[in-house]
């Protein structure tokens, strides 16, 4: 997988007038600065990682979504529970043919973060880290992550395998962190 091609494919699911990302470059995990390395360079759900790092549960806010047959996509924010403090931006592309109708319905309801839904339903899952990205925020991402336009943060591309099938492609961008 070419990370920048996959990034463009996920961003293309939700076209915008203003650029979400001004620039992105692939960064080896070994060269990712802390605390981003701890947050992104692993094979776990970001929901769990964000909750652990921020020492609180997270809520999901669905910004946009679309459904085309069994392919569901959504653009989301994760926020510290009960607050407006954004901890992550994400785009998800999910092939629903690999999960039950109950899981599908709960994901589409948009009330629970994706990772938590899969965990709660004991879906056999493996998270495959695709790439770490150094992200320069465009105007929309800067606004969403409450950071300056042109500011730098890090994100990742990953695939979640559900029941051994590549079911979910993810772009997950952390709000700026301090070491």
59 close to 48: Cβ distance less than 8 angstroms: no
pLDDT beyond 70 at 36? yes
In the predicted model, what is the mean pLDDT of the chain? 94
% of residues, the chain, pLDDT over 70: 99
70-84 residue pLDDT tens: 999 999 999 999 999
The domain total for the chain is 1
Q: Cα(26)–Cα(15) distance, rounded to whole angstroms? A: 22
pLDDT beyond 90 at 123? no
pLDDT of residue 1: 67
The answer to the question of residue 144 being in a domain is: yes
pLDDT beyond 70 at 179? no
pTM: 0.95
* Residues in the chain, total: 179
The answer to the question of residue 179 being in a domain is: no
Mean pLDDT of 144-162: 96
61 close to 176: Cβ distance less than 8 angstroms: no
**CATH number, domain with residue 97:** 3.40.1410.10
The answer to the question of residue 111 being in a domain is: yes
The answer to the question of residue 116 being in a domain is: yes
The answer to the question of residue 63 being in a domain is: yes
pLDDT of residue 153: 98
The answer to the question of residue 41 being in a domain is: yes
Mean pLDDT of 16-43: 94
pLDDT beyond 80 at 124? no
**Containing structural domain, residue 93:** 3-13+20-174
pLDDT band at 174 (very low <50, low <70, confident <90, very high): very high
The answer to the question of residue 55 being in a domain is: yes
The more confidently predicted of residues 73 and 19 is 73
pLDDT beyond 70 at 8? yes
* 149's tokens: 């336009």
The answer to the question of residue 114 being in a domain is: yes
Mean pLDDT of 107-116: 94
% of residues, the chain, pLDDT over 90: 85
């Amino acid at each position: 997988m070419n990370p920048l091609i996959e990034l463009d494919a996920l961003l293309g699911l939700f076209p915008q007038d203003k650029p979400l990302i001004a620039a992105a470059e692939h960064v080896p995990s070994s060269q990712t600065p802390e605390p981003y390395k701890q947050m992104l360079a692993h094979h776990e759900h970001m929901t769990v990682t964000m909750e652990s790092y921020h020492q609180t549960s997270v809520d999901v806010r669905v910004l946009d979504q679309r459904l085309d047959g069994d392919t569901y996509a959504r653009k989301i924010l994760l926020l510290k529970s009960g607050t407006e403090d954004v901890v992550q931006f994400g785009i998800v592309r999910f092939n629903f043919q690999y999960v039950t109708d109950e899981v599908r319905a709960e994901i589409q309801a948009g009330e629970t973060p994706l990772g938590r839904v899969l965990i709660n339903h004991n879906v056999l899952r493996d998270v495959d880290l695709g790439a770490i990205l150094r992200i320069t925020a465009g105007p929309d991402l800067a606004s969403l992550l409450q950071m300056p336009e042109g500011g730098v943060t890090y994100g990742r591309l990953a695939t979640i395998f559900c029941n051994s099938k590549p079911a979910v492609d993810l772009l997950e961008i952390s709000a700026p962190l301090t070491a």
